[in-house]
Amino acid sequence: MDKIISENGDTAAEGSICGYDSLHQLLSANLKPELYQEVNRLLLGRNCGRSLEQIVLPESAISLSSKHDFDLQAVSFSADKEQMRNPRVVRVGLIQNSIALPTTAPFSDQTRGIFDKLKPMIDAAGVAGVNILCLQEAWTMPFAFCTRERRWCEFAEPVDGESTKFLQELAKKYNMVIVSPILERDIDHGEVLWNTAVIIGNNGNIIGKHRKNHIPRVGDFNESTYYMEGDTGHPVFETVFGKIAVNICYGRHHPLNWLAFGLNGAEIVFNPSATVGGLSEPMWPIEARNAAIANSYFVGSINRVGTEVFPNPFTSGDGKPQHNDFGHFYGSSHFSAPDASCTPSLSRYKDGLLISDMDLNLCRQYKDKWGFRMTARYEVYADLLAKYIKPDFKPQVVSDPLLHKNSS
C-alpha cells in the first residue's frame, strides 16, 4: 500500500490499514484497482477530499530504519487554506516496540536493553524533524501486570527517574517534546505506584504528568494489583507545538474520558497502550478514530509488539488453563484525524516509528463544520450524571402499559 519515499526515491516497508494486515493484502491482491481505491476510501477515509500524502524523509532516518530493522512510515494530514490564519503544521511521531531481552534477564539489563533499542528509533524521529513523540505504555519494562507478582514493582521509578533523564537529553538535542509512559513510584506519598505519562518539554524540562484514569479488570489485565485509578483529572499540556493530552490505554474504552480531554482544549490526544489480539483487536481501528471525529482533535494510538513470556504460569479467574503469556501484542499503531481519515498502521509484528505531519487548523475547521460542541446538550448530560451517581437514582424508562396488563 502506501510506502515511505526517501530522498533518493527508494521505498521502505509497507504499512497496513489500521492493523488489518491480512485484510489489506487480500483486498489489494484480489480487487481491481478502481474498486480497491473505493474500498480504501471507506477504510482510511479522505483528508480534505484526497488520500493522505507521503512524506519525504531524510536518508539518515531511512538508514537508521534499515540498520536497526524497524518499520518506518510517514504521511501527512492537511487542512483547508484559511484567509485569517496561517497553517499550524506539527510533525508527530509514535514508537511501538517489543522488549529487548527475555523476562528472566536481570531487571536492570532488561531496562537498559530497551533504552538501547529505542535510542536509534528516537534518533530517527529526531533527524526526521519530529516535534512531538509518544512512546508506548510502560515502555521501560515488560507488561508484567498479568502475573500479580510483586517483584515487577522494581521497575517503578520516580517521575524524574532514570528513563526521564535518558529522554531529557534526547528531547533537548532534537528540540522535541516526548511523552514517556512509565510505572511511577510516588516517593512523597508512601511510595505507591501509578501508571503515569511524563511530559518532557523540548528544552529537556518536565512539563507535567498524567496518571491513568481507568484501570482494567478484564482477562489477564489484573493491573489493580499494582496501581489504582489516577488522581490527575484530564490535563491538557500546552507545548510550543500545540496542546496535547494522554488517554492511557484502557481509557480509550470510555467515551467520557475522551470527551474530557477535548473539553479542556486538546488538539492531539495520545493513547499509549498494551493490548493483545484475543481481547481488543476488532475494537482497535474504531475507538480512537471515533474519538477523533467526535471531539475534533487528532489521536495517536500506540500499542506494543510481540509476545512476552513470563517464568511462572498464572491464571486470571476466567476458567482458562494457567499460562505464561498475555498473548500477542499486535502493534498496529496509527493516527486518526477529525475529518475521519486515518493513516495506514505500523506492522502487527515489528518495532516501528510512525511519523505524521498534521495541520492543527483542521481541528477548528471540523468544529465549525459539524458543530458538535454547539449542538451538544451538556446541561442535559450533566443533570443525568448528577442523578446517576446518587444512591436513589432511578432510570428514566417509559414502559408500555400493556406489558404490565398482560403480565397480570
Identify the CATH number of the domain in which residue 236 sits: 3.60.110.10
User: What residues contact 119, with CB distance under 8 A and at least 6 apart?
Assistant: 170
Nearest to 139 by CA among 177, 181, 184, 201: 181
297 and 185 within one domain: yes
187 and 260 within one domain: yes
| Angle between helices 255-263 and 284-295 in degrees, nearest 10 | 30
Is 169 considered catalytic here? no
| Count of CB atoms situated within 10 Å of the CB of 245 | 26
In the predicted model, residues of the chain with pLDDT beneath 70 are 1-25, 406-408
Q: How many domains does the chain have?
A: 2
274 within a domain of the structure (yes/no): yes
145 and 23 within one domain: no
What is the structure's pLDDT at 219?
A: 86
19 within a domain of the structure (yes/no): yes
176 within a domain of the structure (yes/no): yes
369 within a domain of the structure (yes/no): yes
281 and 244 within one domain: yes
C-alpha dihedral sign at 209, 94, 177, 89: negative
Question: What are the cell numbers at 73?
Answer: 512510515
Cβ pair 354, 334 in contact under 8 A: yes
355 and 275 within one domain: yes
> What digits encode the pLDDT tens for the residues 187-217?
999 999 999 999 999 999 999 999 999 999 8
Query: How big is the CA angle at 208 (ends 241 and 134), to the nearest 5 degrees?
Result: 55
87 and 35 within one domain: no
From the list 249, 267, 308, 342, the catalytic residue is 249
From the list 134, 137, 223, 287, the catalytic residue is 137
What is the structure's pLDDT at 38?
A: 81
Is 137 considered catalytic here? yes
Is 3 considered catalytic here? no
91 and 22 within one domain: no
286 and 187 within one domain: yes
In angstroms, the CA 125 to CA 351 distance is: 14
DSSP state of 403: H
What is the structure's pLDDT at 42?
A: 82
393 within a domain of the structure (yes/no): no
123 and 16 within one domain: no
From the list 18, 146, 209, 212, the catalytic residue is 212
60 lies in which domain range?
53-374
153 and 59 within one domain: yes
Buried b (16+ CB within 10 A) or exposed e, 134-159: bbbbbbbbbbbbbbbeeebeebbbbb
260 and 122 within one domain: yes
218 within a domain of the structure (yes/no): yes
3 within a domain of the structure (yes/no): no
